[in-house]
Amino acid sequence: SQQGEEDPQALSIQEGENATMNCSYKTSINNLQWYRQNSGRGLVHLILIRSNEREKHSGRLRVTLDTSKKSSSLLITASRAADTASYFCATDARSNDYKLSFGAGTTVTVRA
């Protein structure tokens, strides 16, 4: 079942700008992950944040998690053309046997 909902559906930014996308979910989670998908390709794991963590960084990526609002955000700083892709959040929960539940994704276009 689809639990995560990303917002916005699409985002177009200039190279060098920051890109922010949000994910909301409905039920309590164990972990939340973000994945990237280039057009016509498989997904690539970017970062995982546990339910007891509030913020995590990895290179130009910053993820926040607010379990009280059941939401997460992914910030990509100093975007590059190579960041053009779709980004998906995925949650897992004990109630769902820890299977991943993916949102519909945010499509990011970085203009040169």
Partner 1 sequence: DGGITQSPKYLFRKEGQNVTLSCEQNLNHDAMYWYRQDPGQGLRLIYYSQIVNDFQKGDIAEGYSVSREKKESFPLTVTSAQKNPTAFYLCASTGRLAGSQNIQYFGAGTRLSVL
The backbone region for 107, taken as left when phi is positive above 0, alpha when psi lies in -120 to 50, beta otherwise, is: beta
Give the residue from 54, 50, 2 showing the smallest Cα distance to 30. Answer: 50
Q: Name which of 59, 63, 56 is nearest 82 in CA terms.
A: 59
Q: Does an H or E element contain 55, and which?
A: strand 55-58
Asked whether position 99 contacts partner 1 by CB under 8 A, the answer is yes
* Chosen residue from 1, 14, 52, 68 binding partner 1 by CB under 8 A: 1
Q: Pick from 11, 21, 29, 43: which binds partner 1 (CB under 8 A)?
A: 43
Tell me if 25 contacts partner 1 by CB under 8 A: no
Q: Does residue 95 interact with partner 1 by CB under 8 A?
A: no
- The size of the interface with partner 1 (CB under 8 A), counted in residues, is 25
Q: By the criterion CB under 8 A, which residues form the site for partner 1?
A: 1-2, 4, 9, 30-31, 33, 40-45, 48, 88, 92, 94, 97-100, 102-105
